[in-house]
């Protein structure tokens, strides 16, 4: 009897030792997870562009001379700034100046002809008056009076024609002066020269109908830049002019620029049937701070709605089905959530977790699941407002 008691005690001791070793030496080590505390703050609902947007300049002009000629002056080169009205390009004015000189000579000749014709008309008019008096006294015949009347009318018509010739000569001078003005290209607004495709001494020709020729000058106003970007058609009904927006640029990583939606296209682009988009325009609040180059790629985030001081969790802690893992006393538990507003950074929580709970951020290991023992590490705090 005593042997059985001894054996039973030995077996119980071995079992107790095994359990103790399993709970201590052989026990699985807790998994290290990164957690974030449920807090309160601002949550925004936003929509983003479906493809990269592009920086454009609202005031941009591609200019070519309206007349052909040889380039004799280029005051501003690529990248140089100019003011409205400054000369950007000047062609050889010798031919238009010669035409102006010729037109002035023709004006002098037609003026002399006008004087001659009008003097003759005045003389014919006086002769008609004299013969009219003599005809009334019966001294001259009616036939002579008729001839005098015809001569006076002819001379008056010649005078009027000469005056019209003078007006035509003056118009020719005006036309030649305007043609001379076409040899000078002036800046339509304040800006910079983006591109120049001609050099001193080269000839330019105007573009004939139906055959476009590359512009000689490409000028733009850096202060008139805006962002044009495509948005998914499903978001088009939620975007309106005046809504706030944030813009980021690949050329300036880590920075965000505030702006406002200015225009929404009145139609949907359907060139790609599986990706229909609506083009919107966003103007920056202060485009000068960005120093943007037209053609730069951009991403736009349009703010639809925002709520302040609401319970929130990092969006990265959400798992499929609006669930989250919560660390409680070193063990993970799964919680079903009811969420409100949501963006890439934060998600509003209506129920399921409370401020102070620790939700798991690092979800990249298969061992991280409900029931797992864990050791928590706090994630670096994130900014409340982007």
pLDDT at 25: 45
pLDDT tens for each residue of 359-376: 888 877 777 788 788 777
Q: What whole-number distance in Å separates Cα of residue 65 and Cα of residue 289?
A: 34
In this structure, what are the phi and psi dihedrals at residue 305, rounded to the nearest 5 degrees? -155, 155
State the pairing for strand pair 277-284/31-37: unpaired
Question: Under 8 Å CB-to-CB from 70, ≥6 apart: which residues?
Answer: 91, 92, 201, 202, 203
Q: What is the pLDDT of residues 22-46, one digit of tens each?
A: 555 454 677 777 888 888 999 888 8
Beta strands 358-360 and 31-37, pairing class? antiparallel
Point out which residues pair with 163 in neighbouring strands: none
Distance CA 286, CA 124 (A): 77
pLDDT at 136 over 90: no
- How large is the average pLDDT for residues 254-279? 82
The confidence score (pLDDT) of residue 113 equals 79
Give yes or no for residue 15 having a pLDDT over 70: no
The sheet that has 69-73: what strands, in order across it?
A: 184-186, 87-91, 69-73, 203-204
Q: What is the pLDDT of residue 320?
A: 83
If you classify domain 59-92+183-220 with CATH, what class do you get?
A: mainly beta
For residues 309 and 340, give the distance between their C-alpha atoms in angstroms, rounded to a whole number.
Answer: 13
**What is the reported pTM?**
0.62
List, for residues 179-215, the tens digit of each pLDDT value.
Answer: 888 888 999 999 899 888 888 988 888 766 666 677 8
Q: Give the chain's mean pLDDT.
A: 81
Query: What does the pLDDT read at residue 281?
Result: 92
Residue 242 has a pLDDT of 92
Instruction: Please work out, in degrees rounded to the nearest 5, the angle formed at the alpha carbon of residue 56 by the alpha carbons of 287 and 302.
Output: 65
Q: How far apart are CA 148 and CA 312, in angstroms?
A: 108
- The sign of the CA dihedral 314, 319, 323, 328 is negative
For the chain, what is the radius of gyration of the CA atoms?
45
CB 384 within 8 A of CB 311: no
Question: In the prediction, which pLDDT does 222 show?
Answer: 83
Distance (Å, rounded) from C-alpha 300 to C-alpha 229? 7
pLDDT tens profile 206-253: 766 666 677 889 998 888 889 999 988 888 888 999 999 999 888 888
- The CATH class of the 42-56+222-378 domain is mainly beta
CA distances from 222 to 217, 225, 246, 298, 370 (A): 16, 6, 20, 16, 56
């Amino acid at each position: 009897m005593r042997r059985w008691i001894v054996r039973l005690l030995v077996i119980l001791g071995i079992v107790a030792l095994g359990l103790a070793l399993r709970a201590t030496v052989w026990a699985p080590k807790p998994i290290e997870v990164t957690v974030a505390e449920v807090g309160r703050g601002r949550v925004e609902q936003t929509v983003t562009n479906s493809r990269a947007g592009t920086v454009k300049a609202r005031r941009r002009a591609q200019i070519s001379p309206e007349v052909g000629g040889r380039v004799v002056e280029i005051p501003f080169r690529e990248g140089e700034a100019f003011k409205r009205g400054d000369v950007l390009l000047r062609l050889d004015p010798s031919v238009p100046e010669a035409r102006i000189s010729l037109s002035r000579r023709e004006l002098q000749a037609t003026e002399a002809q006008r004087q001659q014709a009008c003097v003759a008309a005045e003389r014919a008019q006086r002769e008609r008056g004299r013969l009219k008096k003599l005809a009334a006294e019966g001294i001259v015949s009616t036939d002579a009076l008729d001839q005098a009347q015809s001569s006076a009318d002819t001379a008056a018509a010649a005078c009027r024609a000469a005056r019209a010739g003078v007006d035509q000569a003056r118009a020719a001078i005006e036309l030649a002066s305007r043609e001379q003005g076409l040899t000078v290209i002036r800046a339509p607004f304040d800006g910079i020269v983006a591109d120049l495709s001609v050099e001193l001494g080269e000839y330019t020709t105007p573009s004939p109908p139906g055959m476009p020729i590359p512009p000689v000058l490409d000028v733009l106003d850096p202060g008139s830049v805006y962002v044009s970007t495509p948005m998914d058609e499903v978001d088009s009904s939620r975007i309106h002019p005046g809504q706030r927006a944030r813009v980021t640029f690949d050329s300036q990583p880590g920075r965000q620029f505030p702006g406002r939606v200015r225009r929404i296209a009145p139609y949907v682009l359907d060139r790609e049937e599986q990706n229909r988009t609506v083009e919107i325009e966003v103007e920056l609040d202060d485009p000068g701070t960005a120093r943007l180059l037209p053609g730069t790629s951009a991403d736009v985030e349009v703010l639809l709605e925002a709520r302040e001081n609401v319970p929130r969790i990092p969006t990265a802690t959400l798992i499929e089905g609006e669930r989250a893992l919560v660390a409680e006393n070193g063990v993970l538990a799964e919680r079903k959530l009811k969420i409100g507003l949501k963006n890439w950074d934060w998600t509003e929580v209506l129920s399921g977790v409370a401020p102070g709970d620790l939700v798991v951020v690092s979800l990249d290991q298969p061992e991280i699941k409900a029931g797992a023992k864990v050791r928590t590490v706090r994630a670096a705090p994130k900014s409340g407002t982007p």
